Amino acid sequence: MKTKFTLTTLSTLLSLATAGFAASSGPVFYGDAPDEHHPWAVHDGNRPQPKIVTPGTFSSAEQPGKPPSDAIILFDGTDLSKWETDKGAPAPWIVSNGYMQVAPGKGAIRTKEKFGDCQLHIEWAAPAKVEGSSQGRGNSGMFLMNMLEIQILDSYNNLTYADGHAGAYYGINPPMANAVRPPGEWQMYDIVFRRPIYKDGKVVDPGYVTVLVNGVLVQDHTMLEGGGTHMARTKPGPFPAKGPLSLQDHGNPMRFRNIWYRELPLRASEGGTDGWLSTEATMAKRAEIAASIRQDAAKLANPDKPLPEMLRLMESLPYEKDDAALQKVEQMAGQYVENLKKLPADKLAAKKDEAKNVAAAFKYLVRFNALPATFAPKTALDQVIKDQGWDKKK
């Protein structure tokens, strides 16, 4: 039978280690312990908290929305100071009324800033006056890292080849739906991009792109096959670590506004610690976590109040087996039980909840092989609990 704590009984144990990080961020000795592919326990109180991001607001046809608080703004409607030509000259496009507009014949522009994996937001509008057809109507394109093209096209009642419609991974994967609004109206693209990861010339992660057009999913975690290009088939391959965002001049006076991105955390394949990790990476991270917890435990050392240090040191054991830490836990736990036995009856009774929670922590550690099944302090504490009748259900 698996040992489980309720959050109510856990509160007592957590209060015993208030100086530890886990005590303020989540329960300890609770969820399944770390394993060979996960450095963190389930519901791990030592796991870093997510950063706080203030959400933005949605755009409307009349005005652009507000980006989230951690967004890096690439164009806010005022100037092109963050953009340049492909030769590094000042961007020659037109800025007016909160948008930038392609200056046909002046060429593409790109961001001065380079970035890799990202959440990207961009809004665009084709000319309200319809001219041309197929790829000659309201055409542009955005190139992630100056390599992978997501098509921008006035696809409203406009027949063209499937892998060239708005939202296409150009030349490779058509959008799952044609979700554009009529020409002249603002279109919203939201993109999640993960570049390919290669090591020693071999693919570790092929990379993926997800695209929503006006809130409609059109590319669903589509695997990358190179950058995509006109008439030719591109092949999978490595991308640089970072690159600019480029916008194409295809001869149409396309408009753009509200362009921003958010950097994404590292994937497990490139050093991140969330998700399914290799055994080697998992064990290295577990050792790092254990060392940090042991350092924290040392700061709690107090001969008059030894329990917080003992509990914090016990926390390190599921992450990494360490003979010195185990020996110290055994010594401290043995002394804890001996001190309980010496208490007069009235003071011992006051230790009931504390003792039962420490015993449950021992049971958790034994269950996950962080303590041996023959751990003497556990046996002794279980006996104290039995002798006092604390093990009996009311």
Smallest CA-to-CA distance from 248 within 122, 162, 128, 133 is with 122
Long-range CB contact pairs, 55-64, < 8 A, 24+? 59/123, 59/186, 59/188, 59/258, 61/185, 61/186, 63/98, 64/98, 64/123, 64/186, 64/257, 64/258
User: Does a structural domain hold residue 228?
Assistant: yes
Q: 260 and 306: one domain?
A: no
Asked if residue 233 is part of any domain, the answer here is yes
Domain end point (choices 270, 291, 311): 270
Give the structural domain span for 190: 72-270
Residues 231 and 287 in one domain: no
Whether residue 291 sits in one domain with residue 150: no
Residues 303 and 351 in one domain: yes
Looking at the predicted structure, is the pLDDT value of residue 301 above 50?
Answer: yes
pTM of the model: 0.88
Query: What CATH number does the domain containing 223 carry?
Result: 2.60.120.560
- pLDDT bracket for residue 25 (50, 70, 90): low
Could you tell me if residue 161 is inside a domain? yes
pLDDT score at 166: 98
Is 284 found in the same domain as 265? Answer: no
Is there a single domain that holds both residue 258 and residue 126? yes
Mean pLDDT for the chain overall: 92
Instruction: Report whether 146 contacts 244 (CB < 8 A).
Output: yes
Residue 64 belongs to a domain: no
Percent of the chain with pLDDT over 90: 87
Say if residue 41 is in the same domain as residue 160. Answer: no
pLDDT of residue 229: 86
Residue 66 placed within a domain: no
Q: Are 78 and 122 in a shared domain?
A: yes
Q: What is the pLDDT of residue 394?
A: 67
pLDDT value of residue 67:
98
- Are residue 204 and residue 231 in the same domain, yes or no? yes
Q: 362: number of CA atoms within 13 Å, CB side?
A: 24
* 80-107 residue pLDDT tens: 999 999 999 999 999 999 999 999 999 9
Instruction: Let me know: does 226 contact 235? Beta carbons within 8 Å.
Output: yes
Domain boundary among 204, 239, 270: 270
Whether residues 177 and 263 share a domain: the answer is: yes
Last residue of a domain, one of 206, 239, 270: 270
Is the same domain home to 248 and 301?
no
Interval 120-127 mean pLDDT:
98
Same domain, 109 and 222: yes
Residue 9 binned pLDDT confidence (cut-offs 50, 70, 90): very low
Predicted local distance difference test score (pLDDT) of residue 7: 39
Element (H, E) at 199: strand 197-199
Residue 13 confidence (pLDDT): 55
Whether the per-residue pLDDT at 216 is higher than 90: the answer is yes
The pLDDT assigned to 224 comes to 97
The number of folded domains in the chain is 2
Q: What is the reported pLDDT for 26? A: 63
Residue 65 in any domain: the answer is no
